[in-house]
């Protein structure tokens, strides 16, 4: 059975949970708390799994892989149904580009280690960190809204079934809500988010449904 190292609030782990659920893949969950014990991701034991001390990671019969998009594509190759990438080569590239717009351009700027660095190294208070999050999360999602506006009027980002794009979008909007980001400028993305959240695979992947969930 695949071992899955994650944290309930990690957006990247959230993406992978959705993929596991959509494909009905059982896994052994190993919680790694990002705040306890100085951050359990920094422990020598976990650094053997991922020297970058980042979540999520998987382990499958000695094979170790990190980075959520790589994990999802690996799952998609190993367990192809339902597929999370379209067959059409152009559409597949668009899906990957949108997913990377979130995973590479927006999400890293909200990471806990980035927020802590802003506070500690630049002596910024919570209000300044909140302004930082509003600028980069809110602004980034508005740009994604413009990307999606160019596609057809689908229930999901790029079609009538979820793809990796949706797996990235849902956790990002969840984070934006948690950080009190104004979402009134992204009606199409919000509609897609709501459609996704009607599916059991997305519902069961929600942070509040995880065994390591803690109320903040």
One fold for 2-82 and 89-202: no
Q: What integer is the mean pLDDT of 145-172?
A: 94
What is the sign of the dihedral through the CA atoms of 145, 151, 153 and 155?
negative
Task: Return the bridge partners of 57, or none.
Answer: 5, 66
User: 2-82 adopts what CATH topology?
Assistant: Glutaredoxin (3.40.30)
Local structure of 86: helix, strand or coil: coil
Pairing of strands 27-31, 2-6: parallel
pTM for the predicted model, two decimal places: 0.94
pLDDT of 5 > 90? The answer is yes
First-to-final CA distance of the chain: 31
Q: Cα 110–28–16 angle (5° rounding)?
A: 35
Local structure of 198: helix, strand or coil: coil
Give how far Cα 21 sits from Cα of 75, 76, 82, 146, 151, Å.
11, 12, 11, 29, 26
CATH number for the segment(s) 89-202: 1.20.1050.10
Q: pLDDT higher for 154 or 58?
A: 58
Domain range summary for the chain, segments of one domain joined by +: 2-82, 89-202
Cα–Cα distance measured from residue 51 to residue 63, given in angstroms and rounded to the nearest whole number: 15
Per-residue pLDDT tens digits for 57-115: 999 999 999 999 999 999 999 999 999 999 999 999 999 999 999 999 998 878 777 88
Cα 175 to its chain centre, rounded Å, is 9
pLDDT band at 121 (very low <50, low <70, confident <90, very high): confident
pLDDT of 7 > 80? The answer is yes
Cα–Cα distance measured from residue 3 to residue 188, given in angstroms and rounded to the nearest whole number: 35
């Amino acid at each position: 059975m695949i071992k899955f190292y994650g944290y309930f609030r990690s957006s990247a782990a959230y993406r992978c949970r959705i993929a596991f659920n959509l494909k009905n893949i059982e896994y052994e969950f190993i919680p790694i708390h990002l705040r306890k014990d100085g951050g359990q991701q920094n422990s020598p034991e976990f650094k053997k799994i991922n020297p970058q001390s980042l979540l999520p990671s998987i382990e499958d019969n000695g094979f170790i892989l990190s980075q959520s998009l790589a994990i999802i594509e690996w799952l998609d190759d190993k367990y192809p149904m339902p597929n999370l990438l379209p067959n059409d080569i152009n559409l597949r590239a668009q899906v990957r580009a949108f997913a990377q717009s979130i995973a590479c351009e927006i999400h890293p700027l909200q990471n806990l280690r980035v927020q802590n660095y802003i506070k500690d190294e630049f002596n910024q208070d919570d209000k300044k960190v909140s302004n930082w999050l509003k600028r980069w999360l809110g602004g980034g999602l508005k740009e994604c809204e413009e990307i999606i506006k160019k596609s057809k009027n689908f229930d999901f980002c790029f079609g009538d079934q979820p793809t990796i794009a949706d797996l990235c979008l849902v956790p990002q909007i969840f984070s934006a809500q948690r950080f009190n980001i104004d979402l009134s400028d992204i009606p199409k993305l919000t509609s897609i988010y709501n459609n996704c959240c009607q599916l059991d695979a997305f519902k069961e992947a929600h942070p509040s449904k995880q065994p390591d969930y803690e109320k903040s």
